[in-house]
Structure 1
Amino acid sequence: MISLVVPTLGRPSLAALLDALAAQLGEKRSDAASDVELLLVDDRGEDAGELAVPGALTAYTKVLTGRGAGPAAARNLGWRAARGEWVVFLDDDVVPAPDWAARMRADLAAPGRVGGVQGVVEVPLPEHRRPTDWERGTAGLADGRWITADMAYRRAALAAVGGFDERFPRAYREDAELAHRVRRAGWELVRGERRVTHPVRPESRWVSLRTQRGNADDALLRRRYGRRWRTDLDLPPGRRPRHTAITAAGALALAAVAAALQAWSGAGLPGARIPGDRVGIVVAGHNLTARYTHELYRTWQERPAYLPARFALHVQDTDHVGTLSEVLSATGEGFTVGGASASGNVGIVHAARLVAAGAVDCCVLVGAVTELTPMHHRGFAVLGALAEPGGDPAAACRPFDQDRRGFVPGEAAAALVLERPAAAARRGAEVLATVPGYALGLDANRLADPDAAGQARVIRAALAAAGLAPHEVDYVNAHATGSRLGDETELASLHDVLGAAAGRPWVNATKALTGHCLGSAGVVEAVATVAQLTGGFVHPNPNLARPIDARIRFAGPGPEPARLRYALSTGFGFGGVNTAVVLARTADGG
């Protein structure tokens, strides 16, 4: 006898499976012998009602009540109640081919050493469009080994290994793990000729969460079988590196979106009904997907077919622009800007220009997360820019300190909304600060050696654009990465511009708190500067124990109250990119 075991949650697809079986098995007289029995394991729970079984199958069928403990437990209940020499497991969402029953009998006429025979699973995909990620994932069943969508085992083989491991509560790894134990017990597993179709179920909003829960099963397999569990269980390399890379790409865009939405909401723009073509998007930063590409490269080399369908979109920095424009329904001007570590300030300059020129009424500026690859870490270390490892990590970032060792990477996204004064006034928006002046210039030098004269030139130009004299600057958010040469060069430029007033303003280093956020640093630090302007304080520089210049009024290890009106924020990047932005607290202190 052959026992067919079908665990079910009562999905509508069950009817199609049972109808197909009824058409092939035919109606059986109650007193006639049969070589087939059908065991339906009803895993729906209590008070679910009776399962509808076609009349032609009634004499073949026995319904078992499951515990609702998952597919592994349901299949165990089924095969332990089975009377057949062979137990064929079928999912309740497959449709057997018209000749499935005949081919099944042929498949199971296998030599005694064969303990399992897998059917062929076909997954239809849309013909006139590209498949979704969910559809592509389901299509992977066609290449899966020993999956229980249609898998037959000798009952003796199941009994020898104790059946499915019920510690795997999901339909994810329990089939491969069982197959491994059956083969290890001395049985052979082969592929048969019978065929089923596995339609793609509609995806729900929770599909990603359910898929990621499978990581717990992977962790259990690793604990049980060691680091080589994929090889031992005859599983493909898997899509986790790809999933990690895709998730990384998504997380980068998500961080940008989260920052933008917070700024958008904080500016009171939801419901403001600003026309989409009057909203601009500027994303500060470049090489934003370097880590994503790095993580994906090995998977692509080993299995090129697993290159994400949207790789060509995700790999471009403009994916951030497109994502943000879609979320905010922005159809005005938009682009990315880059200037190495000065990218954030370059973004502020270009966003301010868009608004000042009347190209848009408001512009959302996002400093996007930059993730370094191991190659980047090594490259910065070779230049001597990166802080050397060792010592207390909390004390590694030391801008303006005599014991500074280089910059410590940080990762953050931040966003600002810049708006035309008239547009902000019309909707009664709270204005936190203004941007009265800015400047951007180059050193005519592609190397990593900063130039005090070039920095002084843009600082002087920004103050002039704002109509400020040196003695009116209350606060300097310095670029201050903690590099040996960079910090000294920046102080030299401040002395050059501010002259006798160089000791008046507070000089601070936000990177002492955040690390160097690279492309987003200028935006992150503009947010920190506005918070200090409006909050009336100066944040600490906690690791400044031995200042390199006693003439400068550095922020100390703790916060200080301060009445601030005008702030200067600098940003300098490799390749001689120099920027300076003036931020001003509104007259009412808002």
Structure 2
Amino acid sequence: MTPPARELISVCVCTYRRQALLTTLLEVLQGQETADRFGYEIIVIENDLERLCEASVADAARTARIPIRYDCEPERNIALARNRAVRLAQGTLIAMIDDDETPVPDWLLRHYETLEASGAQGVLGPVVPVLPASAPAWLESSGVLDRPRHRTGHAIGTQDMRTGNALLRRPLFTRGDLWFDAALGRSGGEDSDFFARGVAGGHSFVWCDEAVVSEVVPPERWTPRFQLRRMWRSGTIRGQWIHDGRQSWVLAWRGIVLLVGGVVALPVSLLAPTAWRMRLALKLAYFGGVVTAALGWPTLRHRE
């Protein structure tokens, strides 16, 4: 009797001018544990008309144990790149990881086990920041890089959903028509929007705390300016949902109260430690984005 075919996972990686990091990721992905329960392939979509990584991906594919396939999305738009990756994928399950991340050896296996046990449409896991010793102390002590973690199997809301570490069932796309919105492919928020529409459509997503990926935080993200803009942009995504009627005004009203209180506290904050000042400034940036977007005022439109 012929044994049943193993399920195939397509690991989708979208990349833009990170050749060294991408090469490292492709090497690490070759050693994923499967316990002989599934097979996997790797899909690389370069979101760059100049195709700067094509040759290095071809080199990696020639000696790879796990198949690596390459394609290019010429228009600079991460949503289009993600959609292209899913369309190129042959697997019944779609894994997503960023090109600057490194997974633990049993990353896929842990995701797969949680998906099977939960019956959910998708599983997401933690992205752990790695800061070099030369990074400013406030970056770690302020908590700006910290993200919530949950017990494995815990049903999660949209605030915990990102595409940097996920395993999704393919029918979400093919039957649920949940493609990434190209209108958000330059401003950001395409992943939050994707999962919000999924939840609204009745799909469930759970957490796997053992499916860890790490992300080295590069020097260009160490500045207050970068982190403040990041928090503002994150706030504008939520604010836009409020403006569009997809979320209640509770968060915006809370933001208004906190903004007033934060402005009053600013003079006192000048005497506080740097980490405390940055926590306050980052909170003000986030809720500033929420309130301005909810009111329909012009907001930050594109990633740097």
- Could you tell me the TM-score, scaled by structure 2's length? 0.66
CA deviations 1:356-406 (Å, max 9, x no partner) are xxxxxxxxxxxxxxxxxxxxxxxxxxxxxxxxxxxxxxxxxxxxxxxxxxx
Alignment correspondent of 2:43: 39
The answer to whether the Cα contact below 8 Å between 2:10 and 2:93 also exists between their aligned partners in 1 is yes
Check 1:49–1:181 CA distance in 2 against 1; reply closer, same or farther (3 A cut).
Answer: closer
- On the 8 A contact 1:86/1:153 being kept in 2, the answer is yes
**Distance of 1:162 and 1:202 partners within structure 2:** 35
Q: Is 1:20 the counterpart of 2:35 in the alignment?
A: no
Q: Work out the percentage of aligned pairs sharing the same amino acid.
A: 23
Q: Distance in 2 between matches of 1:74 and 1:156?
A: 19
The answer to whether residue 96 in structure 2 is matched with residue 89 in structure 1 is yes
Whether the 8 Å contact between 1:103 and 1:194 is mirrored in structure 2 is yes
Question: Are residues 1:228 and 2:248 paired?
Answer: yes
Distance 1:117 1:242, change over 3 A: same
1:201 partnered with 2:218:
yes
State the SS of the aligned residue for 2:211: strand
What's the CA shift for 1:175? 1.9
The amino acid of 1:223's aligned partner reads: H
Is this contact kept in 2: 1:135–1:200, CA < 8 A?
Answer: no
C-alpha change, 1:242 and 1:48, in structure 2 (3 Å) is farther
Aligned length, in residue pairs? 250
- Residue of 311, 326, 333 corresponding to 2:277: 311
Question: Deviations along 1:172-230, whole A, 9 cap, x unmatched?
Answer: 42222211211222221111231111221222566257524555544432333345278
Q: Deviations over 1:36-89 (max 9, x none)?
A: 111101112235352423344375111111133322221111112222111111
Contact 1:125–1:135 under 8 Å retained in 2: no
Q: Does 1:66 align with 2:70?
A: no
- C-alpha separation in 1, matches of 2:141 and 2:63: 35
Name which of 117, 127, 146 aligns with 2:123.
117
Judged with a 3 Å threshold, the aligned counterparts in structure 2 of structure 1 residues 110 and 70 are, in CA distance, closer, same or farther, namely farther
Corresponding residue of 2:285 = none
- 1:243–1:46: structure 2 CA closer, same or farther, 3 Å change rule? farther
TM-score (structure 1 length as normaliser) = 0.36
Report if the CA contact (8 A) 1:114-1:188 is conserved. yes
Structural mapping, 1:361-376, within 5 Å: none
Distance in structure 2 (CA, Å) of the matches to 1:81 and 1:135: 41
Contact 1:86 1:108 in 2 (8 A): no
Does residue 1:131 correspond to 2:138, yes or no? yes
| Distance (whole Å) between structure 2 residues aligned to residue 104 and residue 224 of structure 1 | 33
- The question of 1:187 aligning with 2:203 is answered yes
Separation in 2 of the partners of 1:168 and 1:46?
22
Counterpart-to-counterpart distance in 2, 1:58 and 1:241: 56
Equivalent position SS for 1:152: strand
Question: 1:158 matched to which residue of 2?
Answer: 173
Cα distance in 2 between the residues matched to 1:219 and 1:167: 16
Question: Which residue of structure 1 lines up, in the alignment, with residue 153 of structure 2?
Answer: none
Q: Give the C-alpha shift of residue 164 in structure 1.
A: 1.4
The CA distance in 2 between the partners of 1:229 and 1:81, in whole Å, is 40
Supply the RMSD in Å over aligned alpha carbons: 4.1
User: Residue 161 of structure 1 aligns to which amino acid in structure 2?
Assistant: D
Unaligned runs of 5+ in 2: 1-7, 151-158, 282-304
Specify whether residues 49 and 17 from structure 1 end up closer, same or farther in structure 2 by C-alpha distance, changes over 3 A only: closer
- The alignment partner of 1:139 has SS state of coil
Equivalence map 1:419-438=2 (5 Å): none
